[in-house]
Homo-oligomer: A and B are copies of this chain.
């Protein structure tokens, strides 16, 4: 009889302790010696792959820990992590990570990820993991309440409910196919149109491509990108005009995605006004109501603070809404929370029950099978992450976390405004500051953009910090400084601003 050389539980115990220590040491170092790391990895393309053998080992190697490294000819796991992996890491958990949006990994969430992996439960059906399903239902109700969602979105009080998706990309795809199903089953025409603003995330267009709504990334007939106002928010009047035009042409406006906290500059679309446009035009045309999805991927986290709930004003009129605790709410990737008021629409669009998945609990309709709320069949026990995080921080702790970053961003904005060489390019709504160097005398827009790109590239190449850029309508190249990493404190933001000022001296020299 063949037997596999499994790792003994005692070996797992020993290596597990070492791995926990490795991570804690890494986090310690990020805090105590941030200058030791280059935030944006400076490895060259191919630099990692060539350090891994081209062929797998025929015979297994014990994953010996650091303590035993000396005894061995080579191949120690932790030594190889240091040698092969770490130089190729862009340090998302570094206090000077200001790029994109944050992707926070905290102690409580990592502990939960570990437990989820160790239990190895599949939550595709209620029966295959009742705790996985029911804890998720409870956590989504907790979190929905915490960000001020009305009862229509909570599982225990409505026909709606929440579910953990992998990412906001998955969430908008699910919302879109549910919206299509609802429109088509109401007997609408088949040429469907989705709407979002010019500032929406690329995942909206990508979802439309996957769903077969859009013929490609440039198909502006079936995914209309609505103009924004001076503060980069979707213009409800422009939406209304677009909808009217499409209806006149025989097309069916089936889906609107409003963004609360755009990727470019965290603009907040006027959800309530958008809902009014949708209701008015749907009613006057006597057609099924267009599905309104809110993509609050980044900004939803802020709504745990009552003073930021206004970001979601009008949410009670939406069909679905999502945000990512894996961005700014201290829960490691992946964990997108998605709520709908109409779970039936989701299930109608995604449910298939082959014989091998039938079971008594599901057949009785007494339970939720989350497989019918998502693209994949299998699912991890991710609710543990929310449970651990919310227990550890408490609602007040999460609010303090958000408020701290808001204060840092306000400080950074003040600093930018106090230096005449710079300008703030978009209204600051939360923890992101969009800024750039003003054009030098005689510089045109292209030269100014090139100068700002030199500024960013110089900063990133220094490895001291990492920030990214965007372009906004009518503005050209803009730097984005997102303050949201777990370890980022006011002292880091002040230090970063000094580095930006320093680098500005070089960047303003002719290239």
Does A253 have its Cβ within 8 Å of any Cβ on chain B? no
Determine whether the beta carbon of B61 is less than 8 Å from that of A142. Answer: no
Assembly CA distance A376 to B59 (angstroms): 35
Closest to A126 in B: B45
Kindly provide the distance from the CB of A430 to the nearest chain B CB, expressed in whole angstroms. Answer: 14
Does A203 have its Cβ within 8 Å of any Cβ on chain B? yes
A residues 102-149 with Cβ under 8 Å of B? 103-111, 113-115, 117-122, 126-135, 137-138, 141-143, 145-146
B-facing mask of A395-421, CB < 8 A → 1, else 0? Answer: 111111101100100000000000000
Determine whether the beta carbon of B202 is less than 8 Å from that of A393. Answer: no
Identical subunits present: 2
Does A215 have its Cβ within 8 Å of any Cβ on chain B? yes
Determine whether the beta carbon of A57 is less than 8 Å from that of B391. Answer: yes
Kindly provide the distance from the CB of A125 to the nearest chain B CB, expressed in whole angstroms. Answer: 9
Does A505 have its Cβ within 8 Å of any Cβ on chain B? no
Determine whether the beta carbon of A45 is less than 8 Å from that of B366. Answer: yes
Which residue of A11, A63, A349 has the most chain B CB atoms within 10 A of its CB atom? Answer: A63
- The stretch among A80-88, A229-237, A278-286 that forms the contact with chain B is A80-88
When distances are taken between beta carbons in the complex, the residues of chain B under 8 Å from A41 are: 127, 129-131
A residues 1-33 with Cβ under 8 Å of B? 1-13, 15-17, 19-24, 26-28, 31
Determine whether the beta carbon of B129 is less than 8 Å from that of A89. Answer: yes
Determine whether the beta carbon of B117 is less than 8 Å from that of A92. Answer: no
Determine whether the beta carbon of B395 is less than 8 Å from that of A57. Answer: yes
Determine whether the beta carbon of A56 is less than 8 Å from that of B145. Answer: yes
Assembly CA distance A45 to B363 (angstroms): 13
Contact partner of A121 (CB less than 8 A), chosen from B8, B84, B92, B490, is: B92
Question: Number of A residues whose C-beta is below 8 Å from B?
Answer: 169
Kindly provide the distance from the CB of A149 to the nearest chain B CB, expressed in whole angstroms. Answer: 13
Determine whether the beta carbon of B209 is less than 8 Å from that of A2. Answer: no
Contact partner of A404 (CB less than 8 A), chosen from B1, B167, B486, is: B1
Determine whether the beta carbon of B394 is less than 8 Å from that of A61. Answer: yes
Closest to A32 in B: B9
Contact partner of A115 (CB less than 8 A), chosen from B23, B118, B120, is: B23
B-facing mask of A209-228, CB < 8 A → 1, else 0? Answer: 11111011100000000000
Determine whether the beta carbon of B404 is less than 8 Å from that of A129. Answer: no
Closest to A200 in B: B354
Given A134-B46, A211-B212, the answer on whether A127 and B90 have CB atoms closer than 8 Å is: yes
Contact partner of A120 (CB less than 8 A), chosen from B93, B137, B353, is: B93
Contact partner of A403 (CB less than 8 A), chosen from B2, B118, B353, is: B2
Kindly provide the distance from the CB of A399 to the nearest chain B CB, expressed in whole angstroms. Answer: 8
Contact partner of A59 (CB less than 8 A), chosen from B75, B353, B397, is: B397
When distances are taken between beta carbons in the complex, the residues of chain B under 8 Å from A121 are: 89-90, 92
Assembly CA distance A376 to B400 (angstroms): 30
Does A344 have its Cβ within 8 Å of any Cβ on chain B? no
Closest to A351 in B: B217
Does A150 have its Cβ within 8 Å of any Cβ on chain B? no
Assembly CA distance A185 to B401 (angstroms): 49
Kindly provide the distance from the CB of A421 to the nearest chain B CB, expressed in whole angstroms. Answer: 23
11 A-B residue pairs with CB within 8 Å = A2-B399, A4-B330, A47-B134, A48-B133, A49-B156, A90-B128, A177-B210, A202-B357, A209-B350, A264-B356, A334-B378
The 3 closest A-B pairs by CB, nearest first: A88-B131, A212-B212, A105-B120
